Amino acid sequence: MRVVLDAFDAPRPLRLAARVLGWPFKRLGDEGDVAMPPVTRALTALGPAYIKFGQILSTRPDVVGDDLAAQMRVLQDKLPPFSIEEAKSSIAYELGEPADTLFSEFSAPVAAASIAQVHRAVVAETGETVAVKVLRPGIERAFRKDIDAFYLAARCVEMLSPSSRRLRPMDVIRHFEGVVMGELDLRLEAASASQYASNTREDSGFQVPRVHWFLSGRRMMTLGWADGVSMGDNAALDAAGHDRTELSERVLQLFLQHALRDGFFHADMHQGNLKVAPNGDIIAIDFGIMGHIDEYTRRVYAEILYGFIRRDYQRVAEVHFEAGYVPADRDKDEFARALRAVGEPIFGMDATRISMARLLAYLFEVTERFGMETRTELILLQRTMVVVEGVARSLNPHMNIWHVAQPVVEDYIKRSIGPRAVVHDLRETVKVLSRFGPRLPGLVEEMLIFQSQMGERQPRRVWPVAALWGAIGAAAGAALVGLAIGVG
């Protein structure tokens, strides 16, 4: 606990409170692996959900410090493995055949994380080298215990601190539970990997391994083997001749492209889930946590980023109010000034001189001052943005996130917020309305019968038919506009 508080430069009252509150629990729980550093050992002993938190911190040396980030890097893929026998037993149960029949070779674990571990294997039928991911035995129960503890903590926070309710701690835990439960079914992960590969197949410098569906099930999954250097090993990247500055920019831009263009992005992009192929391509692995955002949210997010890039804090403030992220009774101009205090230190300054910890602390103050509630639909997006920026800065400490993001965001703005977007929206509207075309005569007849029955008792109530004919007129108008656009 002391090491973490030191890393965050916590104030003296918080240190004292942590020591007093933590003393009764000092001798409870699993002691963990004594060979590990204190913080890594503690998070590993607490359980898989806490390890996830450590993985996020490991990507942000600018927040927790270089030493602590390096200590927690082992949480990404170097945790204690379970036995090969247990892995083979799980495979046999899922696929109905012995692992030794399906695979001519099956290695010891090459990576072990909080939820699963990975083995290198060779498919007996084809001779192809693959990666076989197998869930840890009992992981479902371990996560259930952690989540129940989180729910208890969230209830206590809401009860003891009414002001914290704007952060919606119970909703956040509920969202986390949904993400984790999906991660524990590898059939869903295989589907995510397949969709992600389809979305990104034209992306230059990026790869997603192929799913082997006939060798995948609920508790195990098989992907094509990814040869490459871990993105967390700077020395190996330099030895292989890769340009780390270019990689830092590409990994951030790829994330933004996937989030804005597709609305479907890898939401666990720490160094342990990213490799660099011999040809320089970035290879993504581990698709258990994927994020999805709808078109409207993408446009809001892009406008906020674009406003920061242009340093138009007034527009950024307006977007927050338009989207309902800030209560309408708050002062828009004052909010714009608060955003300026967040954005201005970033521009024109070497990234190594920016204290991300201080910046995040101020952002939290701003959200509290203006009564901003947690938006659960943005949790994965915001979390991944923090992680990806941390990965990029680990490759190039001088990287400025706004300069790198600018071309991607500007391209999305041109395509999605402007005349082309209006044309696209009109076409989509016509498509939706056209689906109801065959039903319109029946709807008109039903409304006319209803109106005739109600006519004698309420002779002036003609709004149902009027509304229906208004809808039909709107549909016809939209269809004509769509036709004109198509012809033009």
Whether residue 272 contacts residue 77, with contact meaning beta carbons closer than 8 Å, is answered with yes
Identify any residues that bridge with 121 across adjacent strands, giving them in sequence order.
106, 130
Identify any residues that bridge with 276 across adjacent strands, giving them in sequence order.
229, 282
Cβ contacts of 370-375, under 8 Å, gap ≥ 24: 370/326, 370/327, 370/330, 370/335, 370/338, 371/166, 371/326, 371/327, 371/330, 372/166, 372/320, 372/325, 372/326, 372/327, 373/166, 373/167, 373/168, 374/166, 374/167, 374/168, 374/171, 374/172, 375/325
Annotation says 333 is catalytic? no
Residue 459 has φ and ψ, to the nearest 5°, of -60, -25
Name the DSSP letter for residue 282.
Answer: E
- Locate 362 and state its tokens: 């101020």
Name the DSSP letter for residue 138.
Answer: T
Identify any residues that bridge with 6 across adjacent strands, giving them in sequence order.
none
Beta strands in 113-170 (DSSP E): 116-123, 129-135
Q: Which amino acid is at 242?
A: H
Whose CA is closest to 290, among 307, 304, 273, 302? 273
In angstroms, the Cα distances linking 273 to 106, 214, 453 are 21, 24, 66
**Separation of alpha carbons 219 and 214, rounded Å:** 13
Residue 380 has φ and ψ, to the nearest 5°, of -65, -40
Give the sign of the dihedral formed by CA 394, CA 400, CA 406, CA 412: positive
Phi-psi map region of 233: left, alpha, beta (phi>0 left; psi -120 to 50 alpha): beta
Q: Choose, from 77, 146, 268, 286, the residue flagged as catalytic.
A: 268
**Active site amino acids:** 268
